[in-house]
Amino acid sequence: MVLADHNTTGPEYNIGIADKVLYQCSECGLHYEDEQIAKQCEAYCKEYQGCSMDITKLSVERMNSGENPQL
Ligand SMILES: [Zn+2]
C-alpha cells in the first residue's frame, strides 16, 4: 500500500485497500487505483482549482463511501 497522505486516511479505509497500490492526487488528496485516473484528477484539480465529479467518483474514498458510483 502506498499512501503518502496523512490527513484523509482513516482506519476504515484500511479494510478495502490493504493490498492495493494506490495513486494519490497531490492536489485534492484523493486516492485512485488507476494511475492514469489519478493523473487526470491532478491535471483537472490544478487547472480548475477543484475536482471533477466524473473523476472523483472513481476515487477509493468515494467507492468506499457507499454512494452510487454510477452517478
Ligand atoms: Zn484531484
* pLDDT of res. 48: 96
Say if CB 32 and CB 22 are below 8 A apart.
Answer: yes
Those residues whose C-beta lies under 8 Å from the C-beta of residue 39, and which sit 6 or more positions away, are 23
Say if CB 24 and CB 6 are below 8 A apart.
Answer: no
CA of 44 to the centre of ligand 1 (A): 7
CA of 58 to the centre of ligand 1 (A): 11
Percent of the chain with pLDDT strictly greater than 70: 65
Question: Does 30 score more than 50 pLDDT?
Answer: yes
* pLDDT of res. 22: 93
Interatomic CA distance for residues 69 and 7, integer angstroms: 23
DSSP secondary structure code for residue 27 in this structure: T
CA of 27 to the centre of ligand 1 (A): 5
Interatomic CA distance for residues 43 and 14, integer angstroms: 27
pTM for the model stands at 0.64
